[in-house]
Structure 1
């Protein structure tokens, strides 16, 4: 009985405990429902702030409101999300959906490989994939950016505004520009003028005008030229109002040609001619300036109708020729730089805008300069003497030989006329020999002064280059820089004693050296010749000596006359025949017997008179 009573008591106690536990469970369930309801209200309020929640809605009503709010998201929609986790491959982003959205980690890796995202970051994302059944949400931050850029492009285009971009690289026909999206900049729209070096614009930031765009085709066309033209037009109007003669302005080199520089004065172009760049020599403007250089110029003239502006740069400084007379007096020594060489001389720059000419004749006292390059080179600094100055003609004559003593001034004292000198043959020409003396002075032995007696056709027949010879100083012409020498003068002239050795009337013998139509040349000794004129060959009429004689024949003739000054000896053959006739007559007269009649006496007298007459006539001819 006791056992039964105990069992009943235990059962009653267990029943009470179970009831107590059930009450606790119900209380906990009620508390959970309340918390879940509170959380649901918060989530609904967060997702749908426009929906008013009173707190009296049932759990089912709240979940309905929550579900309806989630359905508002669509693929392609841009929303704001918060990073809640950064993984190796994905970044989880809370966009207010019951499941987190995922973004590929590649969208956050920069060029150096760094991951640029952290928990808590907020940014706009675009919903790429929305799978409600699988509760999968794929997001993209890059595409969200592009959507925003397209919206901005539309706003800028509609407002006729501008957009900033970076030229990333060259492409066919133009450039690729990063404006958040890749846009195309045609080459013709990159600048006001054709671009010579297109690579210079790459990686630079500019303002652009949107010419057209097509979101569906992902096509955007930009222009920089439109903005430059508008800016230029504003500058042009301001520049036109400011331009006036003699005004000094700043400009930018726009283009360079061989005849000058085109300068942009601010929407208005002016020409700076090459002759107005500098007072000095300018071979080509590109030697001094490049496209894009800023320069200062002076307005020389302006044609308002044709809008032509002539510019000057050298006019900003005084003309150096106005002070040249004071700076470079005649006879003064100056230093200058060789800037140009011509066949006739060298141009020396004394200062910018002032150049002098050294003629080839003023480069050396003794050398024959054929080209100035034998003495100077371009770029060389040299010393010279001012010989003449004509500032009105902008000419200065210079000389470099004047910086040294003139050897011709002392040569006559060193080698007076009659001095015997010795030197080597430096050159041989058809008219004579050039003998080196000293100080680069050469003496000339004319072909006629080589020998007293020899007939020389060319000096090379007797001498060769490098031979050492002796000669006599014949004449020194300092004015014309000529030094005359003679070789034959080192010996006495054989013609001085010809008259003593070959007396008039003397019978001589010689060898025929030449036959001409007018006579026969006979060599009496080496270098001494006599001429038998054709009229003195025979009493008979001789048409040509060649019909009677040959070169090399030995003949005998009579000396008719001698002219030592002209070096001529006249000979006669027929005079020998006259002498023979006279001898015959004399012998005949001596051997005649006395005449027996007066006729004989008369005959002897006539013969004697004839002999005397012949002798008288012969004496007259000799004289």
Structure 2
């Protein structure tokens, strides 16, 4: 006896839940052919269910065996909302009005809302989702995501059974039920959502590559060789082109290092039915950096200690990669001592630990420091180099105004050009000292707040010398040398004094080299002593004037006396000069 049946228009969401329930009950999947046939039948069934119309009973179809427990769970899950053939009589079925699929979906959505549930958004093609593994079959890994949404990932994307680590092709181990993984929505086929972790080289076909291009899903490719303008990339059995600028975030200085490497690529162009494919690795790297930026902002704060790898070294500093962003170590922050060549401190690929001393996310600038991790050597410099102490160091560099002497790492002292310990006037420190010379100097001033130590070598000029003459004292010295601006005289104490031309008591323009010779002796008057004897100003004119005044006084004294006449004052002065 034939009994009438009623086909109810159910939303596709509910049909998907039915499939999910079979998977959770570990019902064995059908073979490839039967699975494909089942999908076609499900697709046809979905089309037929677009309208709610009574159907006569057809021949019973063969269905997979279901255990008693499974039947009870299915019945329990559906008996509240789905009327069965026993509850709906043929007469009643005939009176059920036809409903459109849209009306049915609205009624179902209203029913979900009454139960407190909200309709879920269907994921977009190419969208990245976090999935939870539900079950694993020989061909598919079934996952759920976004609440009750479910999909399938091809089993071939994972390593063979029993593998605990990635295989030689880079495929990860098969995830266990309950494990979480990230995947991309690849396509919607036969009412099911197909996902992929990425298209590996083993299962890529022209159709799969096109799907990846449309969905924006990464594909796996091997860099075959360097060609003009870029690289030839083999994506499965298909040839693709990757421009030089798209193989990495920065322009590759040595393109050959990428040859033979297997990378994920994004298909940015697909033309001529797959005969013209352009891929980019840089697009994926940039997208990854954007997703990591928010996480990095939380980790990188002022004063934090970070670890990274040196990406590039320039004359002004070194760039350090910090897991998605770059930080700069200025050359002044590499060490407390002066760094002439940053390449001698850091090399590309070197792992470094530094302190964050500046963050500007608006300009994407992160300043790092190596020396900040070390103690500041200037903090106790006054105790280690007290004023008046003698120190030794190496001449590090010369400038027009003096020489810098390295006393210890990070600590330099400066000897002014006037304190280099020479008796002659210098135009440049190189006339008295050279870079690399070991010198001894005296500390004359320490300013830790300005990071300055003033040194002097003048004390050496005073070693072995006698007492300084007094100002106004008349002394006899020996001509040391004659220069354009005067005559240098070696004094009895060993000090060197200068008689300027204006103090020689001669006519302007007189050539003193014609009048005097080295070793000649002269009487002079000390006019001025400066810089602890470094500068002694002498005068012949002052001595002559003093003597003239003295004789004038003597003449006036004896002029009014009854003693024998001295003659005129001129005669007396002439006699005095002849005597001297």
Q: Report the TM-score, using the length of structure 1 for normalisation.
A: 0.46
Per chain length, whose mean CA-contact separation is higher, i.e. which structure has more relative contact order (CA < 8 Å, sep 6+)?
2
Q: Which has the larger radius of gyration?
A: 1
TM-score by length of 2: 0.49
